[in-house]
Structure 1
């Protein structure tokens, strides 16, 4: 074996590796992308679910937006108010008043209350069922179909179908919004965790029609609007709605509601 040749080859490889290392080091310095230190701290406080509930592509994108001041510190629904406070400290913003939001299904049309037009036999998927004329087997075309598309979409196991209507466990819900996105009837909304009174109906039909198709629907009578001294209840398209930011929790609307759909 030629020792000189071996030493020469080793030297060439060593010098080549050294040069490549130097070039990579120089390139790393020259083309380095500066990252805001706050962005790194914010990213560490985000959960890493990358669910998109914040409206951004993922936790990295949200951290960058928060650090740049393009998104509020409580943008992450999964992290919750406690983490929002910590992120607020990083950004020098007070977010101690941030409240947890949860999903709520605006339907009380359970199997014993909602009328049925026909019996459906097919794929258990609300979006598929919505393609059938009449928008599902229930007489009310605005209500919960009960086939669990939202259940499968929830990454936190916070939803189950009970007696034909989806029900959200607000202690498990992280307000990621995935259930809202997949519901074909758009009857899921985010409400404050502490909300005391909510209208559990989504029907836009007039009272007479509502009574014919469901025993638990808003008839648009407007009594709740007249009873609310805080001006939190409004009536639009024959459907009552409660502004949670104005609601004082007095309960007069629920007490006087003839349909008993304010819970």
Structure 2
């Protein structure tokens, strides 16, 4: 045999032996993956937004397959239909979750919250928040640089040039929570849409005392507590000079909206209030009598007195 043939045979033997060893090693340390993970991932919308709390749809699918109960899981993009499909794949009955929507809890418009200085730096809310309190006297409100808009992957937000505040398109918002995470001042919150998209919330996050907050913004919550006393359902709490409405307890009676002295409580998508007619006070209002009628009445009274004397 030539040296070349021996070399080829030796290499083939080494290759076959290595392949056999690798096969048994792979079988020994094989990690089993439930095939349902792929099915669940295909059922998800593949948005990879992270709104579910997991790193992408793959991570969410793995968590769903491993869970014994998926009632507390929700895909904000797909909503109830997608979760029902996932439940059918995994053999779980899924309770319909009430839809939520992002809400901007700041009404510090250019008119309500005048500027006291000018920011000349990077157009980033995170950078601006780390450097100073903002261009107004309120250090808690919206910085107006649109970082939340940039974070939205569904074109559901835009900056209003007139007010300087972000606006949320309810029809496009999937409640993924990306804008909530992006806001350094935590003024954006996910709240229940409510029946007919009606919601009541305190549109302020200012924790300063009443006089300071009112000076910085004319529509700030001053922590007076009137709304807390007025609410018949204990849905409003007052902490750190700021009122907060629990959407799980709120029954949308709107009594708190009327008593708020600074109009910091907002009501969305409600019909206009009916004005109550003013009832006339019959005790104080006297009928108008013409001078001629008064003269005739006096004449009749004098005649009656004369007849009585006779």
Which bin holds the TM-score, normalised by the shorter protein?
Answer: 0.7 to 0.9
State the match for 2:89 in structure 1: 90
8 Å contact kept, 2:70–2:92: no
Structure 1 position 192 matched with structure 2 position 195: no
8 Å contact kept, 1:126–1:184: yes
Structure 1 position 233 matched with structure 2 position 236: yes
Structure 1 position 251 matched with structure 2 position 254: yes
Cα distance in 2, alignment partners of residues 157 and 19 from structure 1: 58
8 Å contact kept, 1:84–1:98: no
8 Å contact kept, 1:65–1:71: no
Q: 3-state SS of the aligned residue for 2:122?
A: coil
Cα distance in 2, alignment partners of residues 216 and 71 from structure 1: 44
Q: TM-score, normalised by structure 1?
A: 0.84
Cα distance in 2, alignment partners of residues 30 and 258 from structure 1: 72
- Following superposition, the deviation at residue 70 of structure 1 comes to 6.9
8 Å contact kept, 1:115–1:140: no
CA RMSD of aligned residues (A): 2.8
State the match for 2:101 in structure 1: 102
Larger Rg: 2
- Following superposition, the deviation at residue 28 of structure 1 comes to 7.5
- Following superposition, the deviation at residue 76 of structure 1 comes to 2.1
Count of residues in Structure 1 that have an aligned counterpart in Structure 2: 254
Uncovered stretches (5+) of structure 1, i.e. residues with no partner: 1-8, 10-16
- Following superposition, the deviation at residue 40 of structure 1 comes to 2.8
Which aligned runs of 4 or more in structure 1 are off by greater than 4 angstroms?
17-32
State the match for 2:181 in structure 1: 181
- Following superposition, the deviation at residue 191 of structure 1 comes to 0.6
- Following superposition, the deviation at residue 95 of structure 1 comes to 2.9
State the match for 2:138 in structure 1: 140
8 Å contact kept, 1:78–1:176: yes
State the match for 2:285 in structure 1: none
8 Å contact kept, 2:227–2:257: yes
Q: 3-state SS of the aligned residue for 1:220?
A: coil
The alpha-carbon distance between structure 1 residues 21 and 46, as it changes in their structure 2 partners (threshold 3 A), is farther
Please show how residues 148-159 of structure 1 align to structure 2 within 5 Å.
148-159=146-157
Larger mean CA deviation between 32-41 and 143-152 belongs to 32-41
1:59 to 57, 75, 88: 57
Cα distance in 2, alignment partners of residues 230 and 38 from structure 1: 45
